[in-house]
Chain A
Amino acid sequence: MKKTELLNDLFSFENKVIIITGGAGAIGSALAELLGNLGANVVITDINQERVNKVASEIQKATGKETLGLVADSTDENQMKELVDKVVAKFGKISGLVNNVGWGAATPIWGSDTEKMVNSYKLNTLSAYNLTKFCMPYLEKEENASVIFSNSRVGNTPSPEFIEYSTAKAALLNMAKSMAVISGPKVRFNTVIIGSVDNGESTLDAGFTMEMLQKINDSIVMKRRGFPADIAHGIMFLMSKAASWVTGVDLTLDGGGRYESKMPKKED
């Protein structure tokens, strides 16, 4: 096989239909555009009709691939069922799913309550469980089908500032691995642990100030927060044919992490 042919083959998403929840956000739309450019028909979901329509039409324009924007509330089980029906009615199949929806605000560790904790679990964990379950009959029919779970550094490190979000994400991490061990060889399940990414508005909504963000940039090994494309690239690799023997892993995309040492660094 010739050079470019081999690489094109490994990373082709021609004839694939990929659902990305929260696909109108920064990371979701970067991924949708990347997969569209690699040949996929992408379905993005969002809770806001206007936003999802706008982003879907932008992606369709940029990639030349038919792109569907659907309003769906990931915390509503029936809407997740309907979403699957709509995608199958439109494209006839589902080749991949990216459970990208998720969010959590900073909360003092003893400042949460049953309702907030359960709501976080519904949004970050149950949403992915339900949609994955409804997609499974279709995924099982497709070659190299895979499911990606967007996770966060809060999901595998102590995160007292984000007690609702972090516990729900920790549950999601374990869930992905459980699905992986039982569902091979038909469907692969992998997680990306996402470090500090410039998500635009939603980062500021989560309680970060510009000063805090600058501090984070300085503390990261690669000296910058991630771009949405950095995350899209990692997810695309895990979904590609190049990773067809990869399942049950969690790949951390975090710019090498943050310096933890308080000791002064000797310069070379």
Chain B
Amino acid sequence: MSLTNLFDLKNKVAIVTGGGNGIGKASALILAQAGAAVAVSDLKLSDAEEVAEEIKKGGGKAIAVECNVTDDDHLVNLVERTVKELGGVHILINNAGGGGGGRESPFKIDVKRFAWVFELNLFSAWRLSQLCAPHMKDGGYGSIVNITSMGSINKSPNMSAYAGSKAALNHMSANLAYDYGPFGIRVNCVGPGATKTAALASVLTPEIEEKMLAGTPIKRLGEVEDISGAVLYFAAPISEWVSGQVLFVNGGGVQTLD
């Protein structure tokens, strides 16, 4: 493989869920900069449209798709539209997720809420992988990158639903790597530490930030570009022999809201 091809995603099509903001947006932009056509999906269509527009303005190819990843019809539609309008799927970034801010006591958490967190963080990634894998197999290139969380290995109070779903995502990814590997499809996870997104800003105070930095060898919080760099690494041919891995991008430390 020549040097210039290591990150070359020309003629590749990527789906990024939750692509309208934060880590998803940064991932969509860097994949487009490497040459991929990107289906930017988001719960909020206008956010996805803005990112798709930015990609197109830079000379790239993109579509915006409204998608609630807990709705199976939406997932089917996302993959169908991507294949129809962009010509295939080679890269899937399962970035949409959430439910970590609820902090429900395990004594009180509602069964439906618990199941919803798993639908959002785990089932959606599994189902989209299932929908995309045949296209990846046919297209001769496949890389699935699941955005997990430090919550998948941390122990924090009242986080059993979110942490459990993200830990399950890690191990599901490792198992899917085994199943899909022989078909040339790789499955890896990126685990961000506390990253400066709108979601974090809503709960971050100067005191919490100071405590977070005390536990972080590289003395700053993450930028979305720190995470999208790792996403690009796993998405691109440079990592063609790497699968089943979880890479934590966290400044070497642990940042919690406690």
Contact = CB atoms under 8 A, between A and B. Distances in A.
B240 to A, nearest CB: 7
Contacts of A221: 177-178, 181-182, 243-244
B220 to A, nearest CB: 7
Contacts of A227: 241
Nearest to A242: B229
A38 interface: yes
B186 A245 contact: no
A7 B250 contact: no
Interface in B205-258: 216-220, 222-223, 226, 229-230, 232-233, 238-245, 247-253
B43 interface: no
B6 interface: yes
A230 B217 CA distance: 28
Given A3-B33, A11-B7, A252 B217 contact: no
Contact of A37 (B3, B220, B248, B252): B3
Given A11-B7, A222-B243, A247 B252 contact: yes
Interface in A19-49: 34, 37-38
A37 B184 CA distance: 28
Contacts of B240: 222, 230
B248 A234 contact: no
A240 B223 CA distance: 16
B3 A182 contact: no
A221 B183 CA distance: 9
B131 interface: no
A111 B219 CA distance: 47
A247 B245 contact: no
B247 A256 contact: no
Nearest to A246: B249
A181 B7 contact: no
Contacts of B251: 184-185, 245, 247
Interface residues of B, number: 44
B249 A245 contact: yes
Question: Considering residues B3, B59, B239, B245, which has the most beta carbons from chain A within 10 angstroms of its beta carbon?
Answer: B245
A223 interface: yes
Contact of A251 (B59, B181, B245): B245
Contact of A243 (B7, B186, B229): B229
A259 interface: yes
A114 B3 CA distance: 45
A38 B193 CA distance: 29
A181 B218 contact: no
B177 A256 contact: yes
Contacts of A243: 229-230, 233, 249
Contacts of A34: 3
A242 B222 CA distance: 12
A257 interface: yes
A164 to B, nearest CB: 27
B1 A229 contact: yes
A37 B157 CA distance: 48
A234 B242 contact: yes
B168 interface: no
Interface of A: 3, 6-7, 10-11, 34, 37-38, 180-185, 188, 221-224, 226-227, 229-230, 233-234, 236-237, 240-249, 251-257, 259
Task: Pick the 9 closest A-B CB pairs, nearest first.
Answer: A184-B217, A242-B229, A221-B181, A256-B243, A247-B252, A230-B241, A245-B226, A248-B252, A185-B218
24 contacts: A3-B33, A6-B30, A34-B3, A37-B3, A181-B217, A184-B216, A185-B219, A185-B220, A222-B186, A226-B241, A229-B1, A230-B242, A236-B238, A244-B218, A245-B222, A245-B249, A245-B250, A246-B249, A247-B218, A247-B251, A249-B247, A249-B248, A256-B186, A257-B244
